[in-house]
């Protein structure tokens, strides 16, 4: 529907342009004849006509002015003999036959010379004045009212037929040309429309390939970029919705166990008669542990959502990161020894400065240390190394313990992701520790990543920009 409208618009435009071109041509011809009339008087051929120099006795003819202006004067007598010739000579013979002379007279119009021929009856000769033609355009409409009426009709019909054919060819050319030109716009437009429609219908993988290099190609690139962006945004939104849904499911799942347990034991305490003191203490202990577990989970969830909130701000302070890590490691030593873990630290003596919120940052190290002790057997070696690479402090926190499967290297940082995936794991971990730690590292402009050790154990790498 739209295609037709645009093509018709083109057809109309082309017809108007063609008709205007015809009008312009007619106007140009009229202008040409006017201009030629304007200069006619000054042209050499008109300044020296044959009638001006003719004499009864051809011998007295003065040809000097004509010859000086590049022309020629010839006299042909009754026997068609060239009896006088001065300057330019286009006849080129001393004697002509009657036939040759007739040909000369009739064909003189089509030669690039201007001939002015006068017959002198008294002297019995023809005077021919010749000038070379500068530029001449022969186009004229000639008619005579006295011509036979039938001829007029026939000639008129022939002209009308030619004009009609001309207009028909013009219309056909305009039609074909308009369709071809319109197609160069309607075809890419249709492809773009189809792409947009697909996008509107929810197919975000829709892309347009016009194989053009003009403005449409720019439009195509913009369209494709836009579609790619929408596709990306939509998939991100889907993913974040999925993450949120999973998070809620995990939270309710993880809270359900301690809450059910608290409820069950509380009811037992209330209803069961004749309970020994020891039994009662055991029940209360279970209630206490479960409420601690629920409380820890809620505290960590609160911390995680705080880190995600736009109002969250660090309290950054310029800190010597080597000195600071050394202090934290010193605080970890009693814990490692108490739990029976081996340790080694490799922190350079030099001062390396970074902007840190030390309270938050210590949370990362504490969490990694807790994990190392929680998930690995006694006797595991835990090492902390710090070095500076490309304006970044790189802290490798490694252990030679059970390790984490390589395919979990990314997902382990997602909330509630645990290696054994058992929700009521004996370890009591919430699965939120690494997510919180990564978010704190990111808030510092750095990152926390896992590099599963090829040999044994795992290496967590914290990177922080230095100043
Ligand atoms: P959690 O509160 O369960 O410890 P984290 O996010 O801190 O949650 O850790 C996620 C999981 O990663 C843990 O449940 C554990 O299975 C695994 N993990 C973390 N650190 C280590 C480690 N040093 N060695 C082996 N497994 C680990």
Output the DSSP codes for 63-104.
-HHHHHTT-EEEEEETT-BEEEEEE--SS--SB--HHHHHHH
367 Cα nearest atom in ligand 1: 7
- Position 362 scores a pLDDT of 94
User: 4: pLDDT confidence band, cut at 50, 70 and 90?
Assistant: low
Report strand pairing: 381-389 vs 342-346. parallel
User: Is CATH 3.30.565.10 the classification given to domain 313-465?
Assistant: yes
Does the CA dihedral 27-28-31-37 come out positive or negative?
negative
- Position 424 scores a pLDDT of 46
Tell me: pLDDT of 135 over 90. Answer: no
Report the chain's C-alpha Rg in angstroms. 53
* Ligand 1: centre distance to CA 367 (Å): 9
Tell me: pLDDT of 140 over 80. Answer: no
Domain 216-306 shares a fold with domain 313-465: no
Residue nearest to atom 19 of ligand 1 (CA): 371
**In the block, residue with structure tokens 């499967």:** 405
Does the CA dihedral 294-300-301-303 come out positive or negative?
positive
Phi-psi domain of 379 (left: phi exceeds 0; alpha: psi -120 through 50; beta: other) = left
The 10 Å CB-count burial string (b at 16+, else e) for 233-259 is: eeeeeeeeeeeeeebeebbeebeeebe
d(CA 330, CA 340): 16
| Cα three-residue angle 357-361-366, rounded to 5 degrees | 150
Structure tokens at 276: 């020994």
Task: List pLDDT tens digits, range 66-104.
Answer: 999 999 999 999 999 999 999 999 998 999 999 999 999
**Per-chain mean pLDDT for the chain:** 91
- Position 247 scores a pLDDT of 87
User: 427: pLDDT confidence band, cut at 50, 70 and 90?
Assistant: low
370 Cα nearest atom in ligand 1: 4
* Ligand 1: centre distance to CA 205 (Å): 38
Q: What is the mean pLDDT of residues 454-466?
A: 90
Note the CATH architecture for domain 216-306.
Orthogonal Bundle (1.10)
Q: What is the mean pLDDT of residues 404-411?
A: 89
Q: At a CB cut-off of 8 Å and minimum separation 6, what does 125 contact? A: 58, 75, 76, 77, 78, 83, 119
d(CA 409, CA 263): 37
CB-defined site of ligand 1, < 6 Å: 367, 371-372, 375-376, 399, 401-402, 404, 412, 418-420, 429-434, 458
Phi, psi (deg, nearest 5) at residue 152: -55, -50
Question: Lowest-confidence range among 3-17, 198-212, 377-391, 440-454?
Answer: 3-17
- Position 48 scores a pLDDT of 93
**Stronger pLDDT, 422 or 153, i.e. the higher one:** 153
**Residues 317 and 357: beta-carbon distance below 8 Å:** yes
Q: What is the pTM of this model?
A: 0.60
Q: Which helix (H) or strand (E) holds 159?
A: helix 149-200
- Position 423 scores a pLDDT of 44
* Ligand 1: centre distance to CA 121 (Å): 132
- Determine the 3-state secondary structure of 50 from DSSP: helix
Q: What is the mean pLDDT of residues 163-188?
A: 90
d(CA 371, CA 434): 9
Summarize the chain as % helix, strand, coil (round to 5).
Answer: 55, 15, 30
- Determine the 3-state secondary structure of 221 from DSSP: helix
- Determine the 3-state secondary structure of 361 from DSSP: helix
* Ligand 1: centre distance to CA 70 (Å): 112
Q: What is the mean pLDDT of residues 439-449?
A: 95
**In the block, residue with structure tokens 């997602």:** 414
N residues, the chain: 467
Tell me: pLDDT of 394 over 60. Answer: yes
Q: Which helix (H) or strand (E) holds 9?
A: helix 2-40
d(CA 174, CA 266): 94
Q: What is the mean pLDDT of residues 36-44?
A: 89
- Position 430 scores a pLDDT of 81
**In the block, residue with structure tokens 């829709």:** 206
DSSP 400-454: -SS---GGGTTGGGSTT--SS--TT-TT---S-HHHHHHHHHHHTT-EEEEEE-S
Give me the residue spans of the domains in the chain: 6-39+140-187, 50-132, 216-306, 313-465
Residue nearest to atom 14 of ligand 1 (CA): 418
* Ligand 1: centre distance to CA 288 (Å): 24
User: 312: pLDDT confidence band, cut at 50, 70 and 90?
Assistant: confident
């Amino acid at each position: 529907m739209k295609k037709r409208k645009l093509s018709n618009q083109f057809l109309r435009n082309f017809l108007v342009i063609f008709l205007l071109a015809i009008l312009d041509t007619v106007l140009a011809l009229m202008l040409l004849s006017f201009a030629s009339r304007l200069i006619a008087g000054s042209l050499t051929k008109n300044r020296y006509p044959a009638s001006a120099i003719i004499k009864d006795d051809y011998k007295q003819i003065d040809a000097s002015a004509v010859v000086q202006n590049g022309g020629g004067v010839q006299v042909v007598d009754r026997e068609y003999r060239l009896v006088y010739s001065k300057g330019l000579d286009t006849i080129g013979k001393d004697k002509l036959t009657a036939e040759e002379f007739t040909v000369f007279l009739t064909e003189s119009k089509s030669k690039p010379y201007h001939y002015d021929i006068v017959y002198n009856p008294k002297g019995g000769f023809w005077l021919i004045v010749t000038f070379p033609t500068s530029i001449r355009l022969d186009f004229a409409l000639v008619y005579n009212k006295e011509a036979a009426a039938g001829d007029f009709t026939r000639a008129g019909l022939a002209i009308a037929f030619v004009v009609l054919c001309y207009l028909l060819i013009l219309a056909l050319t305009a039609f074909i040309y308009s369709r071809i030109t319109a197609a160069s716009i309607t075809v890419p437009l249709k492809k773009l429309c189809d792409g947009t429609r697909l996008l509107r219908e929810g197919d975000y993988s829709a892309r347009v390939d016009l194989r053009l290099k003009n403005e449409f190609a720019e439009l195509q690139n913009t369209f494709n970029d836009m579609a790619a962006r929408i596709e990306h945004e939509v998939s991100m939104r889907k993913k974040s919705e999925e993450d949120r849904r999973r998070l809620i499911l995990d939270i309710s799942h993880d809270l359900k166990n301690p809450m059910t347990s608290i409820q069950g034991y509380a009811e037992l305490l209330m209803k069961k008669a004749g309970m020994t003191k020891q039994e009662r203490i055991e029940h209360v202990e279970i209630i206490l542990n479960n409420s601690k577990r629920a409380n820890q989970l809620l505290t960590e969830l609160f911390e995680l959502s705080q880190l995600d909130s736009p109002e969250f701000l660090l309290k950054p302070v310029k800190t010597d990161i080597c000195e600071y890590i050394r202090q934290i490691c010193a605080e970890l030593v009693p814990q490692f020894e108490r739990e029976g873990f081996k340790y080694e630290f490799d922190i350079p003596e030099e001062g390396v400065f970074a902007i840190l919120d030390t309270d938050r940052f210590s949370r990362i190290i504490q969490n990694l240390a807790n994990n190392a002790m929680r998930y690995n057997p006694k006797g595991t070696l835990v090492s902390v190394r710090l070095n500076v690479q490309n304006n970044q402090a790189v802290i490798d926190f490694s252990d030679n313990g059970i390790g984490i499967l390589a395919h979990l290297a990314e997902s382990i940082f997602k909330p509630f992701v645990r290696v054994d995936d058992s929700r009521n794991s004996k370890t009591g971990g919430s699965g939120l520790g690494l997510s919180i730690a990564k978010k704190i590292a990111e808030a510092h402009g750095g990152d926390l990543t896992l590099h599963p050790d090829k040999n044994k154990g795992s290496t967590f790498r914290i990177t922080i920009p230095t100043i």
